[in-house]
Amino acid sequence: MSIIIEQFLIGNDNYAVLLHDEATGKTASIDAMEAALIASVLRANKWQLTDILVTHKHIDHVGGIEGLKAQFGCTVHGPVKAAQEIGNLDVLLNEGSQVTFGNYVIDVWETPGHCADHISFVFKSENIAFVGDTLFPLGCGRIFDSTAEYLYTSLQRFSALPDEMQLYCGHEYTIGNLEFALSLEPGNKALQKRELIIRELVSQNRTTVPTTVRQEKETNPFLRLDSKEILKNIDMDGAEPVKVFTEIRSRKNKF
Ligand code: ZN
Ligand code: FE
């Protein structure tokens, strides 16, 4: 008996993830962009949706909550900081909250930076984390109503998780992120290797998510703020990591 994870795309690049606990029959959706496709995957698996875990208020993560709640009467857990904007939240979460899922416990981290209310779900016993739009393979989220300093701190927390932990995120943005990473650190051998793997996966229409903490530490420029090659390329030798991060994030916006 264990946890089954089903990940699928909605539209071009939005990931939906369902978690199913075989022992108790509980099923959770991480975010809910829209109800119809999620409901059809639930039906195909004969799963009853019991919970929705919301990472943040953006419409591509919450648009399906109302419809799913109406169909399944599920419990919706989400960030207290966006309770009003999201609506329909039954359980309000903040730093240190824990979500009980079947016989498991999932930790809640406040991970602002993409937006002020963003939270992540760290499922330690299963060695997986759901990081929403905070971190992507080879990249990180854009900054909306928050700051680069907050995003930097949130990413640093992820990089301190165990190397083998698997990170699930909200979007398939990997090819764009890969090209940006290569522009900053073309000599990174691990990145060169990863490029081949990613191009192969994408050519077969396969997903590049989840990633792992180790892989991101080795190749994601937003976690490589002390890379000599990156520092040289952006002419910031000796600069503080948070300043380097801020510069890289703003370069990505123009890339
Ligand atoms: Zn978002
Ligand atoms: Fe998103």
User: How many other C-beta atoms are found inside a 10 Å radius of the C-beta of residue 36?
Assistant: 11
Ligand 2 mean position, distance from CA 135 (Å): 11
The residues, any chain, with a CB within 8 Å of residue 94's CB and separated by 6 or more, are: 79, 80, 81, 108, 110, 119
Q: What is the spatial distance between Cα 10 and Cα 68, in angstroms, rounded to a whole number? A: 15
CA of 86 from ligand 1 middle (Å) equals 13
Please identify which of the residues 20, 31, 51, 56 carries the catalytic annotation: 56
Known catalytic residue: 60? Answer: yes
Ligand 2: distance of its center to the CA of 28 in Å? 18
Let me know if 236 is exposed, middle or buried by CB neighbors in 10 A (0-12, 13-18, 19+). middle
CA distance linking residue 47 with residue 41, whole number of Å: 8
CATH, domain 3-254, list 3.40.1160.10, 3.30.70.1520, 3.40.50.150, 3.60.15.10: 3.60.15.10
SS3 of 30-47: ECCCCHHHHHHHHHHHCC
CA of 14 to the centre of ligand 2 (A): 7
Residues 212-251: pLDDT tens digits? 999 999 999 999 999 999 999 999 999 999 999 999 999 9
Asked if residues 30 and 210 have their Cβ atoms less than 8 Å apart, the reply is no
Is 56 noted as a catalytic residue in this protein?
Answer: yes
Q: Measured in angstroms, how far is the CA atom of residue 65 from the centroid of ligand 2?
A: 15
pLDDT digits (tens, 9 = 90+) for 117-134: 999 999 999 999 999 999
Model pTM? 0.98
Mark whether 20 is an active-site residue: no
The ligand minimizing its distance to the Cα of 145 is 1
Q: How far apart (Å, rounded) are the C-alpha atoms in residues 109 and 119?
A: 6
Segment 161-173 mean pLDDT = 98
